[in-house]
Amino acid sequence: MDNILKVAMAQIAPVWLDKMGTVEKIKNTIKEATNEGAELVVFGEAFLPGYPFWLALTDGAQWDLKVNKELHAHYVRNSIQIETGELDTICKLAKENSMAIYLGIMERAKNRGGHSIYASLVYIDANGDIKSVHRKLQPTYDERLTWAPGDGNGLQVHSLKQFTLGGLNCWENWMPLPRTALYGLGENLHIAVWPGSDHNTKDITRFIARESRSYVVSVSSLMNQNDFPRDTPHLDAILANSPNVLANGGSCIAGPDGEWIIEPVLNKEGLIFQELDFDRVYEERQNFDPVGHYSRPDVTKLVVNRERQSTVEFKG
């Protein structure tokens, strides 16, 4: 059944800004997905260790505000440096269970000095190898106060059974050229990761599926006031302006015809499973293929720079 892929969407809350606690939750989720026969499990944007909700709640744009500086430092300390092996236990578990994983992390990138952080989407294959790390190209609105912009190095696709997988972070999914780059690489199962809420997923998921004639799996996290750890710095300041529900989920799947397979799921924590049949991709590409028979590269063509960016280049 090489044409059938069982996907698990992890619509769960992180142990917010606690990387060790969140890693343990990820490992338990992988084990649960394995027990249900899933071959791919997807976690939301910035899931490890969580989304910077405080920026919209603590006057995040104010200069030299102590609460924001201290929360930012706490965030960076709980972000992930891949080069030092901080994803090794997750990779080992992927290999042991032959599980492919898309995981949204905050990456403290060593090749950019190790102090700035990137919203990165990591793909780990079923052999436990990290095959790509896509740093979000353009942080959205208040995210720019704590996240750095990424580069094109992670605009890559991966084979899993008959499927070709690619992924983007949150509002990157609205950017037509990164989408086109993935289409051009043969993507037919698009992974869209989000911090949460159906206002993000309810329109774009079906739109991308319809445009690309691919499956689109949108995975969002959950977050409410009870999910903030009691030892979070400046918790009182965060909760003072926080709604009870900050992220209601909205994870969903659209088929290659742009119709719902799973409509946005709200306020329900846990794994959501679905089997996908690759044959549906070929059926819908019969009348439209955005980078194949329904394209005109002699008129319009995209050029992509996939060089990993760094401030310093050492020679000799």
Active site residue 172: no
Active site residue 252: no
- The answer to whether residues 258 and 292 touch, using CB atoms and an 8 Å cutoff, is no
Instruction: Name the strand (E) or helix (H) holding 25.
Output: helix 19-35
User: Which residues lie below 8 Å from residue 10, measured CB to CB, with a gap of 6+?
Assistant: 29, 33, 41, 42, 43, 44, 47, 219, 271
Q: Which of 39, 45, 86, 187 is catalytic?
A: 45
User: Which residues lie below 8 Å from residue 256, measured CB to CB, with a gap of 6+?
Assistant: 188, 209, 212, 213, 214, 215, 280, 281, 283, 284, 285
Report how far apart the first and last C-alpha atoms of the chain are (Å, whole number). Answer: 51
> DSSP string of 222-280?
EEEGGGS-TT-TTHHHHHHT--SEEEEEEEEEE-TTS-EEEEEEES--EEEEEEEETHH
Which residue type occupies 91?
C
Question: Within 78-195, where are the H helices?
Answer: 88-96, 176-184
Q: Would you say how long the chain is, in residues?
A: 316
Q: Which two tokens stand for residue 117?
A: 């952080």
Q: Which of 86, 170, 172, 284 is catalytic?
A: 170
> What whole-number distance in Å separates Cα of residue 253 and Cα of residue 214?
11
Q: Which of 19, 25, 136, 161 is catalytic?
A: 136
Nearest to 189 by CA among 39, 303, 47, 46: 39
Active site residue 45: yes
Catalytic residues: 45, 136, 170
